[in-house]
Amino acid sequence: MDLVPALARWVHFLAGVMWIGLLYYFNFVQVPALKAATADNTAAGITKHVAPRALLYFRWSAVVTWLAGATLLGANFVNAFTLRPGWVGIGIGAWLGTIMIFNVWAIIWPNQQKILGMKPASDEEKAKARRTAFLTSRMNTALSIPMLFFMAGGLTHRAAFGL
């Protein structure tokens, strides 16, 4: 049925904008803002009220994005992930997106729970968690650049890059 991939594409874009938008918010806005807020003792407003909400939408929009993307690939899911001819471009994009969602759920979220006090952690563990979550979030920001390049591929990419 044509309706399913059409709706999946729409949802993939909607959730993807939220996911990557929040990723960019964390990296371009919240991290520098927290640095400044810590200096004048106002960081609690961000860590208590903003960060948990942003993280909630961040991690679940990642799930919706991935599931909608998988639905959109449909019967070509394996072709994409095994980089079969004709599926190399979107396949690389799909792999990058999958690495990114793994980073969100397996590394960023567990470490953020320690940082925000949702899980017990010593000061030393929190400092380590902060560094790990920061670098993984930055890695995802870097990965989003080729991921969006390959995901957004179409006739223009075919003409310019042969992909």
Partner 1 sequence: MKNPLDSLWGTIITGLVLTVILVLAAKSLMG
List of residues contacting partner 1 (CB under 8 A): 27-28, 83, 85, 88-89, 92, 135, 138-139, 141-146, 149-150, 161-163
Q: Residue 41 is which amino acid?
A: N
Q: 120 or 162: whose CB is closer to partner 1?
A: 162
Nearer to partner 1 among residue 116 and residue 139 (C-beta):
139
Contact indicator for 107, 72 with CB cutoff of 8 Å:
no
User: Least separation, in Å, of the C-beta of 32 and partner 1?
Assistant: 8
The least CB distance from residue 117 to partner 1, in Å, is 25
Minimum distance from CB of 27 to partner 1 (Å)? Answer: 7
Q: Which is nearer to partner 1, 11 or 143 (CB)?
A: 143
Whether the CB-CB separation of 144 and 27 falls below 8 Å is answered with no
Q: How far is the CB of 114 from partner 1 (least distance, A)?
A: 20
Nearer to partner 1, 7 or 139 (CB): 139
Q: CB of residue 134 vs partner 1: minimum separation in angstroms?
A: 8
Residue the block writes with tokens 């010593």: 122
Burial status of residue 159 (CB atoms within 10 A of its CB: 0-12, 13-18, 19 or more): exposed
**Tokens at 141, concatenated:** 């920001």
Q: Are 91 and 79 in contact (CB under 8 A)?
A: yes
Q: How far apart are CA 75 and CA 90, in angstroms?
A: 14
Asked if 26 and 54 count as a contact pair (C-beta separation under 8 A), the reply is yes
Output 13 or 149, the one with its CB closest to partner 1. 149
